[in-house]
Amino acid sequence: MARVSLRDVNKIYRSRHDDVHAVNDLNLTVNDGEFVALLGPSGCGKTSTLRMIVGLEEISAGEIHFDDVLVNKLDSQARNVAMAFETYALYPNFTIEENLAFPLEVRGLPAPERRKKAREIAEILRIDDILDQRPGALSGGQQQRVSLGRALIRDPAVFILDEVMSHIDAHLKFQMLFDLKAIHQEMKRTMIYVTHDQVEALALADRVAVMSNAELQQFGTRNDLYHTPANVFVADFIGEPPTNFFEAELFTDHNGTVLKVVGSDLVIQLEPGHAQRILRWNERHLTVGIRPQSLHLGGDPALPALEAKVAINEYLGERSILTLTDGTRSFRAMVDPDTTAQRGERVKVHYALQDVMVFSGKTELIIL
């Protein structure tokens, strides 16, 4: 096991025409035995980061340490990292046990030891009943587990998974998420999981590093990311359906300080303490975020509300999503699936003051 620390890590791909700064001053520490997800949209620098950790890509600047050892110049073998990909070709003519034990055979371990380790890992992965079969006879999920087992059997210090589920169907994905979590709990390896899918990242990881545009946006637990996103990007990227954003201006009158949505009659109330903090920020133009989950139809009438017309009532089984509009601004509320609100109907959706997120209009950083 190992603690993995990235200090001011940069990756610049140089070419004759153009340099691509794929990772910019990345600082990140994954604790010993921790499960961390690297999450971000395509092209944000996840794979480059991962390849530098594994030792498949040169580090342009900065340092990577495994515990206290600087690994910049060490190759993958010497770093003792294992990497699992989505497609991990198994040897079709080998049994599952032989497939699992193969990395140990390469290392020259004697047969009885290989057999013992293969059985141990198979038990953790719940494939101990198919050890005599060949890959062709297995389901996709079983094959995936065998390939994970083959990576894990080397007992790596760090275990890296690159988009291992991007093409797996939803049902199998659910099972795999469960399996991976169980493997981590059982083996307590340092694991780094790369994905563009927030559901996977939030379900699996102890902490999630959200990247965008070559930079780390926030590194925290799912609670941190959901309730105190560092900026507009994280508030938008984390959570489904995405956060409603409103461009707003700060106004103070005899009722206190409120946020008036630009180009609309919508007004968003603020807690008095929050209003003070925003006033100190000295910015009039702000971005307000309210999650669809924080807007309640038929909520406590004492709470402030946004009033708008229903544009779409989308039934999704366990919930419905209302798209509301006041003519100029559209936003969404997640409501009870029994909601019968019809298109064109005027409704009020209530919110609690603590659920209002306010971001700087200039830097997009969170203010509260």
**Which one-letter amino acid corresponds to residue 65?**
H
Contact status: 20 vs ligand ATP (CB under 6 A): yes
- Could you say whether residue 13 binds ligand ATP (CB under 6 A)? yes
Q: To which residue do tokens 């008036």 refer?
A: 260
Query: Among the candidate windows 37-45, 115-123, 236-244, 248-256, which touches ligand ATP by CB under 6 A?
Result: 37-45
Residue 10 touches ligand ATP, criterion: CB under 6 A: no
Question: How many whole angstroms from its chain centre is CA 339?
Answer: 31
CB atoms within 10 A of CB 19: 11
Interface residue with ligand ATP, options 2, 4, 6, 22 (CB under 6 A): 22
Q: Which stretch binds ligand ATP (CB under 6 A): 42-50, 128-136, 145-153, 356-364?
A: 42-50
Closest to ligand ATP by CB, 55 vs 149, is 55
Q: Is 354 helix (H, G, I), strand (E, B) or coil?
A: helix
- Output 1 or 56, the one with its CB closest to ligand ATP: 56
Question: Which of 35, 36, 37, 48 touches ligand ATP (CB under 6 A)?
Answer: 48
Ramachandran assignment for 111, one of left (phi > 0), alpha (psi -120 to 50 degrees), beta (any other): alpha
Q: Does 44 bind ligand ATP (CB under 6 A)?
A: yes
Count how many residues are written for the chain: 368
Residues 96 to 135 in contact with ligand ATP, rule: CB under 6 A:
none
Q: Is 155 helix (H, G, I), strand (E, B) or coil?
A: coil
232-271 positions binding ligand ATP, by CB under 6 A: none
Our finding on whether 45 is near ligand ATP (CB under 6 A) is: yes
Q: Strand 267-269 and strand 256-261: pairing?
A: antiparallel
Q: How far is the CB of 193 from ligand ATP (least distance, A)?
A: 13
Instruction: Answer whether 190's CB lies under 8 Å from 1's CB.
Output: yes
- Please report whether residue 304 would count as binding ligand ATP according to CB under 6 A: no
Q: Which of 30, 34, 37, 47 binds ligand ATP (CB under 6 A)?
A: 47
On the CB side of 126, how many CA atoms lie within 13 Å of its CA? 11
**Closest CB to ligand ATP: residue number:** 47
Which of 3, 25, 29, 43 touches ligand ATP (CB under 6 A)? 43
The one among 40, 156, 292, 299 contacting ligand ATP by CB under 6 A: 40
Shortest CB 36 distance to ligand ATP, Å: 15
CB 269 within 8 A of CB 346: no
* Minimum distance, C-beta of residue 1 to ligand ATP, in the bound complex (Å): 25
In Å, the largest CA–CA distance within the chain is: 83
Q: Closer to ligand ATP at the Cβ: 47 or 190? A: 47
Instruction: DSSP letter for 342, please.
Output: P
Q: Does 195 bind ligand ATP (CB under 6 A)?
A: no
CA 147, CA 174: separation in Å to the nearest integer? 18
DSSP 98-143: HHHHHHHHHTT--HHHHHHHHHHHHHHTT-TTSTTS-GGGS-HHHH
Site residues for ligand ATP per CB under 6 A: 13, 20, 22, 40, 42-48, 196
